[in-house]
Every structure is written in C-alpha cells, then in structure tokens.
Structure 1
Amino acid sequence: MTRILLTGGSGFIAAHVLDTLLERGHSVVATVRSQEKGQRILDAHPTVGKERLDFVVVEDIAQPNAFEKAVISDPPFEAVIHTASPFHFRAVDAQNELLAPALNGTKGILHAIKKSAPSVKRVVVTSSLAAMFDVAKPGDYVYSEADWNPIKEDEVDKNPTFGYRGSKTFAEKAAWDFIEKEKPGFTLATCNPPLVLGPVINHLASLDSINTSNERIRDLITGKAKESCPRTGTSLWVDVRDVALAHVLAAEKPEAANKRFFLTAGNYSNTEIVGIISDQFPNLKDKLPSGEALVPGDVPPESRIGFDNSRSKEVLGLTYRPLRESVVDAVKSLQGLLRGD
C-alpha cells in the first residue's frame, strides 16, 4: 500500500482517481477547498476507514505556501497526484482566474514536497492536450508527447480559450523546469488528456455545477441545445475512468518516471454523441437537435486530429473505452442527478 496525496480531491477527474486508488489498495489524503467538500468525500466512502482515506483543507492553491502543511503526513506520503487546477472557458481575468492558480499551485506543491516531504518519490501532474495543441499545425498533423503549445504569456488575455491553454502550458512547463533545475528526490509524470467525458461521481449541488467537459451532454439531454447542437471544438476525447487509471499507473510504475502521457481514445463529434443518445435513450429524442440543428456539431474527416497515443498503451498498459460506453454512462449519471439520486 502506497500513501498518496491527491490534490483537488472533489474534482471530476480526481473523484475517479480517488476511487481507483482505493480500489488498488492505496491510502489517500485528498486536498479540498472546504471542510464541507472534504466531509462529502468521506460520506461517499462510508466503509473506508480514516487510515485509508482522509482530507486536508487547502483553501486557495494560488497562495504562497498553500501546500506547506498538506504535504506532511504520518505515515509519510510516497507519491503525490496533483489534479487541482481550474478548467473552464468563462474567465474574465485569465491571469488571476486561470494562470495564477495553475502556475502557482503547481510550483507551490513541488517546492513544498522538496522542502517537507522527502519520502515522495513520484509526482503526477494533470496537464492537458491544451499544453500540446498548436492551431498553426496542418489538419493532418499527428500529435504526440513531443508537442508543445507555442502560446506566449501576453496572449492569455485574448479570450478564455487562450487563457485556459496558457494556464496548462505554463504550469506543465514549470513542472518540467523544476525537475531540471531543482533536481528533487522525486520523478515526474504528466497526463495530457483532451476533452474528458464519462460518468460524474463527485457530489454536485445541481447540474449547473457540472464539469466543463460534460456540459455538452447536459445541454443535449435537457433540451437546452435542441435548436443548435453545440460546436464540437477540438475533436479528440477520452473517458474519465481511463484518465483516472492513467494517473494511478503513472504513480505506480517505475518506467513512467519523467514522461508525458498523451491520453486519448480518438476523434469524436457532438453529432455522434447525439446519435448515441438517440439510439440508447429513445425517451430523450424529443430533446435532441435534429436536421439542420445538428450541423454545428459535425466534424468532417479532414478536420479530425491526428494522434499517437502509443506511449500510454506501451508504458502504462492502457486500453481505451469506446465513445458509446462513455456517453451512455455519462447520461445515466446525469439522469441520476436530475432525479436527485
């Protein structure tokens, strides 16, 4: 059993990481922003004792020394999985809403580990395709772990998308720079997923507080998108359960040391998601867009993104769930929220 610190423990991906860690026999302490969120995590795992699951409050990861106390544990931590970072496209002030938490949080936890948690041997950081994607690349370009987003810091305020992409790029680069310059007693691995779909298992007050990736499915099943299918955007995707397992394997496997992992199951379109929901949930057909309303959600073959996910398969041993399974399970989980299950 390995004792692991999991940051951002109540997040969409982190909730699945937590369950995967527990299933694989690890002991976990999750960081959360409030006592209430921490208690929700404990309440969701009533049969797991405090020696295997606990939480610590870190109110603002952007603050200096935010993780100083969180990294200290008895028994001590052997690994850290850092998922805490904002992901949304509603930022008005990208520097303070996205860049500062992502950059300061990543640098802050790495410094805290080096200073106060010498037992930690592996740190896994949640990055993103956003840290790899380059809009200037041709349509048939094949992305891999070798790619970096060329965004400059003065571009992050152009729009919320630039803000998010910048936050992930600069935070991940800061992590690799730290390893190179500080030469700590731990190795690093980063997980770089694109759009993450799949079931929601973290407690939500309402569907309004759903993770950004699943907003499109929420809008489809509630009829909000009936008049116009949401635009697909970047056409790569992955299931949240595969992302969670990748984080855990990156913490467990010696051969994952100092590697990036591009996590993707392939291309998709929102039009395909509509088709899956229509097939699997006939009672929702009247809420779904059809005909001309589907056009914005389509992705023609020439616009689909090339990818090489071989490292995640060869080093981590991942296999990826199909889109149908991910969408069906996402819809079922959201229907449960609608019913108040």
Structure 2
Amino acid sequence: MVPKPDPQTVIITGGTGYVGQHIVAQLLHHGHNVVVIDVSPTQATEMIQLFNHPNLQCKIVDQLNQPHSIDFVLRKFPHASIFIASAAVVPRDDIVDFEREIIQMNHDILKCSLDSVKRYGSGVERVILTSSTAAYVAPDKAFAINVTYSDDDWNPLPYDAWKESVSSAYFVSKKFNEQMAWQFMKDEQPQFDLVTIAPAFCIGPAYFESQISIDNLPSSTSLVGDLLKLTKHDTVPSFAAGAVDVRDVAKAHVSVMKTPKASGQRILVEAYKFTNANAVNILKSHFPQLKDKLPDVEPISESKFVEPNLKRSKEILAFDKYYTLTDSVVDLARQLLKD
C-alpha cells in the first residue's frame, strides 16, 4: 500500500470559488486541515454548511488587496505549511476600469498575500499560485486549436494591451502578476518556495450542484449553459480553446504540495481542446432530449488539433489520466439538466 501523506494545514484564498471549492474538496479528501480566507461572510457560511467537515474552517477579512489584511490568519495558524493563492478578479460585464479593477486589484491581492506569508507564515514551506495559460499565451493562441506553444512561454502582450478589452486586461494581469511573484521570490528570498499552476480554459461540473443553475454559472462554464439554451435553427457560435477539467486543476494544486521537483516551477495544465461544435455534438449524443432540440453542426476533427508542448509540466504532475472533454461537458450538463 502507498503510505498516506501526513495531514497538513493549508491556507487558501479563493477557496469559495469554482476552482477553489474543488481544491478544498481534494484537500479534505486527503486528510488535510483547510483554512479558507474569504471576504464574504455569506459565501463562507454557505461553504461551511455544504461541506460539513470538521477539518474545514473559514476566516473572514475585510479585503484581500490591502496590506496586513490576512496577517491575523497566518498568526493564528503558525503550523500551516502550504499557502494556496487562488483568489483573483476575473472578467465580468460590470467592470468599467480595466486597469484598476482587474490589473491593480489582482496585483495587490497577490502582493499583499506574499508579503503577509513572508512576515507571519513562519511554517509555510510552499506557496502555490493559481495562474492561467493567459500568462503563457495571448488570446490568439489561447482561443485556437491549431497553434503551438509550450509550458516555458510567456504571453507577449505589452502592459498597455489592457486598454483593448476586459479580456485583454485579464491576460495582461495574469502575465504581470506571475512575473511579479517570481520577482518577489528573487528579491525577498522568503522562507517558502513558489509553484505556479496555470490551467487552460476551465470546464466541468461545479462541486455543489445546488449552487448552480443554467442561468447562474461560473464564468467559463456558462459556455455549456449557453449551448443548452440553443434551439434547432440557431447557429452554434464559433469558439475554441485549449481546456482542462476543473477536477484536474484541483488535483494539480494538491499533487504539487510536497513534490520536490515542483519547486520553483511553472506548471501548465491542459488536457484537450474545447470547441462549441464538439460540445454540442457531445450533448446531443448523451442526452436524448437534446437530440432534436439543439442545432446540427459538424464537429471539428481532432486531426486538426495541435497539442501544446507540456512535457515538463506533465512529468512533474505525473497524472495517470485526465478527464476528457466528454467527461467535463456531460458531468456539467447533468447538473444543469438535473439528469
């Protein structure tokens, strides 16, 4: 039998979110103690009630983007050995000031977290940052199926590209935030090391079905919700991206907690290509009630897909298998269709 790892105390920001809940679930499954830092008492209370687990705690702070805001949590749990920085602002329709509300906010959240962990996280051995393929590639490669990139790349967008759109601002934010984190490690020489986990377009089921509906979905999963709303004579919108199941993203965070070769590494996680056309065909083939409801569209042949060079990342993660596009689409659709 493989020995079970010793339980650790893990502090995580962003733990009440779509990816964060899956990370928390896997941490609890592996026997770890989890402390979630959140700014919303309502979300924290709901999470505690839904998980109903003795090893889970939530601590509320007024804000994450101000110095010293999480100091008291780190002081309260000096034995915490892992800090997962997963909190981040993602594109939303109500964001007006792209630079202030996305780039500066994400910078401040991460910088303040790193400063606090250095100052008060005496037991923290590793910080795991949730990054994104947006730190590696610009939109032209992120939203494509036939381009090449690798897990050593950096997004080439200049800082001023944030002015173009909320999406561009997000790509700029992810690049410069991760670069800031690596520069922090070089300049500050903290007691912990750093690992970044960069998921591609994230899809798959919510951890708690009760929290979602076809009209209330986390940003990336809303694509499947929108496809389910189509009718026979609608045109399927064109969309494609490198993608990965949210459960594999969570698994990646947990798997690198004590992996020595992950130290100081940027790890990109992509498992397949998501296209609207292929997703519609998956939905029609797995749900009889959708066969005649959804539009007919020719699927994109996998022979047209170009896989990124993720040799280093995959060797570090050493997963036996990944969830497939079909797994991700069907499992999410089942939640939405209550099937």
Would you call these one fold, judging by a TM-score over 0.5?
A: yes
1:331 is paired with a residue of what secondary structure?
helix
Q: Which of these residues, 316, 323, 328, is aligned with residue 330 of structure 2?
A: 328
C-alpha RMSD of the superposition? 2.4
CA offset digits 1:268-300 (Å, max 9, x no partner) = 31111111100001112344232xxx47x9589
Q: Which of these residues, 57, 64, 72, is aligned with residue 67 of structure 2?
A: 64
Distance verdict in 2 for CA 1:129–1:66, change over 3 Å: same
1:86 is paired with a residue of what secondary structure?
coil
Aligned-residue offset at 1:13: 0.5
Q: Which of these residues, 188, 194, 217, is aligned with residue 188 of structure 1?
A: 194
Aligned-residue offset at 1:263: 0.2
Aligned-residue offset at 1:218: 0.6
Q: Which of these residues, 122, 125, 130, is aligned with residue 121 of structure 1?
A: 125
Distance verdict in 2 for CA 1:97–1:225, change over 3 Å: farther
CA offset digits 1:15-43 (Å, max 9, x no partner) = 10000000111100011221111111111
CA offset digits 1:223-269 (Å, max 9, x no partner) = 37962323314x21101111000011122212211101110112231
Distance verdict in 2 for CA 1:37–1:259, change over 3 Å: same
Q: Which of these residues, 96, 100, 113, is aligned with residue 100 of structure 2?
A: 96
Residue 126 of structure 1 aligns to which amino acid in structure 2?
T
CA offset digits 1:88-147 (Å, max 9, x no partner) = 253322112211221111111001000111210000001111110146779865322210
Residue 274 of structure 1 aligns to which amino acid in structure 2?
V
Distance verdict in 2 for CA 1:204–1:272, change over 3 Å: same
Distance verdict in 2 for CA 1:208–1:157, change over 3 Å: farther
Partner of residue 87, structure 2: 84
1:98 is paired with a residue of what secondary structure?
helix
2:83 is paired with a residue of what secondary structure?
strand
Q: How far apart are the structure 2 equivalents of 1:85 and 1:104?
A: 10
Partner of residue 280, structure 2: 274
Distance verdict in 2 for CA 1:152–1:274, change over 3 Å: same
Matched, 1:130 2:134: yes
Distance verdict in 2 for CA 1:221–1:159, change over 3 Å: same
Q: Percent identity?
A: 30
Q: How far apart are the structure 2 equivalents of 1:206 and 1:98?
A: 26
2:59 is paired with a residue of what secondary structure?
strand
Aligned residues: 328
Q: How far apart are the structure 2 equivalents of 1:94 and 1:252?
A: 36
- Aligned runs of 1:216-255 on 2, under 5 Å? 216-223=223-230, 227-233=234-240, 235-255=241-261
Matched, 1:215 2:222: yes
Q: TM-score, normalised by structure 1?
A: 0.88
Distance verdict in 2 for CA 1:31–1:74, change over 3 Å: closer
Residue 3 of structure 1 aligns to which amino acid in structure 2?
T
Partner of residue 310, structure 2: 309
Residue 212 of structure 1 aligns to which amino acid in structure 2?
S
Distance verdict in 2 for CA 1:257–1:226, change over 3 Å: farther
